[in-house]
Amino acid sequence: MNFLPTPFPGLYLIEPKVYGDHRGYFFESFQQKKFDEAIGKIEFVQDNESKSGYGVLRGLHFQRPPFTQAKLVRCITGAILDVVADLRRNSPTFKKTYSIELSGSNKLQLFIPRGFAHGFVVLSEEALFSYKVDNFYSLDHDAGILYDDPELLIDWVIPNEALKLSEKDRGLPLFSETVLPFSM
For residue 108, tell me if it sits in a domain: yes
Q: What is the extent of the structural domain holding 49?
A: 2-177
Question: In terms of pTM, does the model score above 0.85?
Answer: yes
> How high is the mean pLDDT of the chain?
96
Q: Which residues pair with 34 in a beta bridge?
A: none
For residue 183, tell me if it sits in a domain: no
Task: Kindly state the percentage of the chain with pLDDT values over 90.
Answer: 97
For residue 182, tell me if it sits in a domain: no
- Give CA–CA dist 20/7, Å, rounded: 31
For residue 184, tell me if it sits in a domain: no
CATH code: domain of residue 64:
2.60.120.10
What are the strands, taking DSSP E only, across the chain? 2-5, 12-15, 19-21, 24-26, 46-53, 57-63, 71-77, 79-86, 97-103, 109-112, 116-122, 126-133, 142-144
Catalytic entry in 12, 98, 131, 147? 131
Give the pLDDT score at 182.
Answer: 83
Give the pLDDT band (50/70/90) at residue 83.
very high
61 among known catalytic residues: yes
141 among known catalytic residues: no
Domains identified in the chain, total number:
1
Query: Looking at the predicted structure, is the pLDDT value of residue 173 above 90?
Result: yes
Catalytic entry in 61, 98, 118, 147? 61
- Radius of gyration over every alpha carbon of the chain, rounded to an integer in angstroms: 16
> What would the pLDDT profile of 135-152 be if each residue is shown by its tens digit?
999 999 999 999 999 999
Q: Which residues pair with 51 in a beta bridge?
A: 128
Closest CA to 161 of 83, 57, 50: 57
